Chains A and B, each alone.
Chain A
Amino acid sequence: ETGVTQSPTHLIKTRGQQVTLRCSSQSGHNTVSWYQQALGQGPQFIFQYYREEENGRGNFPPRFSGLQFPNYSSELNVNALELDDSALYLCASSPIVGTPGKYTQYFGPGTRLTVL
């Protein structure tokens, strides 16, 4: 069974640029959630995708957008990068959508984004 993988591992961008981060969910998992973890803080929920549709969103501006593909892999796109977007971006997959806590999320290792 393959775990959650994310690419790239590290990324450096400059302000105003756009970035795409990728996530492959664990085999058999149809739900993917994205989180932003700033240095010294806990992960903050960005959004969740289920069956290629957005299924919940946290307090992030529209320049954070995503996609989920038929194979359940997912992308996180961030436009007009700001310095405060520097963080570890985590992807988590789960086997079922529904009431959080009723299922286990499996996290990938994250992508470390630095915005200069």
Chain B
Amino acid sequence: TQLLEQSPQFLSIQEGENLTVYCNSSSVFSSLQWYRQEPGEGPVLLVTVVTGGEVKKLKRLTFQFGDARKDSSLHITAAQPGDTGLYLCAGAFGQNFVFGPGTRLSVLP
């Protein structure tokens, strides 16, 4: 059974702080996606990383895929209240996506 772990489970920070959340697995994934989900809505795709060691930037968000394609990180610079939400990683394994349990981020003004 593939298992994706995410840490921390919960994170509460002040506006303007930096943070990093992690996604780890013992399995190798052909690609990995990061989503953000807000209450009452479905997940929205932020980025897809495919190549080991790949780094992608999306404004204040930086995503990295581990060299062995088993782990990934999401770094947010100068967090804003609008970044509040559930951050999910999902690994592509065969025909399926396997989601982690998510990191619930709260950015306080």
Contact = CB atoms under 8 A, between A and B. Distances in A.
Interface of A: 4, 33, 35, 40-45, 48, 55-56, 58, 90, 92, 99-102, 104-110
A100 B96 contact: yes
A87 to B, nearest CB: 13
Contacts of A42: 4, 6, 88, 90, 99-102
State the majority secondary structure of interface residues on B.
strand
A48 B95 CA distance: 9
Contacts of B29: 101
A100 to B, nearest CB: 4
A24 to B, nearest CB: 13
Q: In the complex, which of the residues A55, A90, A105 has the most CB atoms of chain B within 10 Å of its own CB atom?
A: A105
A98 B40 CA distance: 29
Given A108-B42, A109-B40, A101 B98 contact: no
A101 B44 CA distance: 14
Contacts of A56: 94-96
Interface of B: 4, 6, 29-33, 40-45, 48, 50, 88, 90, 92-102
B76 to A, nearest CB: 19
A115 B97 CA distance: 26
Q: A-B pairs with the 3 shortest C-beta distances?
A: A101-B31, A107-B42, A42-B99
Contacts of A104: 45, 48
A102 B42 contact: no
Contacts of A48: 95-96
10 contacts: A4-B42, A33-B97, A42-B6, A43-B88, A43-B90, A58-B96, A100-B92, A101-B92, A105-B97, A107-B44
Contacts of A107: 41-44
Nearest to B48: A101
B95 to A, nearest CB: 4
B108 to A, nearest CB: 21
A55 B41 CA distance: 25
